[in-house]
Amino acid sequence: MLVRNMELDRQIQEKRTEMREALAAHQKAREAAAQMRSRLSELRIAAGTEAAGSDLESLRSAEAQAQELESAEKTAATRFNAVSDELAHLHRQKFGAWHITWTGPRLRP
């Protein structure tokens, strides 16, 4: 039993570290996507007023990049939620079914 608890403690610590990394990755992806959305808004305004060919090309490029960043944000949120679920499972194994690991809101994928 002691060896099992020690192994569970090790796995819990690894999952906590992984969860912190996943949260940091999500925050970074969310910030990058927000910055791109802001830049995209600026480009849309510029393209609407000037209607130059290079502005339209920049706008299309920015829209594609914004979609990629939003996809990365969703992937990061999904990873965080999965790691959070795995950590909760480890806690339930160690402490029993009554144990509540996370009561906050889940990240939206």
Q: Is 22 exposed, middle or buried (0-12, 13-18, 19+ CB in 10 A)?
A: buried
CA 73, chain centre distance (Å):
5
Place of tokens 């992806």: 29
Tokens of 10: 């090790």
Per-residue confidence (pLDDT) for residue 35, from 0 to 100: 96
pLDDT digits (tens, 9 = 90+) for 9-45: 999 999 999 999 999 999 999 999 999 999 998 888 8
Per-residue confidence (pLDDT) for residue 42, from 0 to 100: 87
Tokens of 84: 């959070």
Tokens of 19: 């969860």
pLDDT digits (tens, 9 = 90+) for 85-107: 999 899 888 887 665 655 556 66
Per-residue confidence (pLDDT) for residue 105, from 0 to 100: 62
Q: What is the pTM of this model?
A: 0.77
For the chain, helix, strand, coil in percent to 5 are 85, 0, 15
pLDDT of residue 84 exceeding 80, the answer is: yes
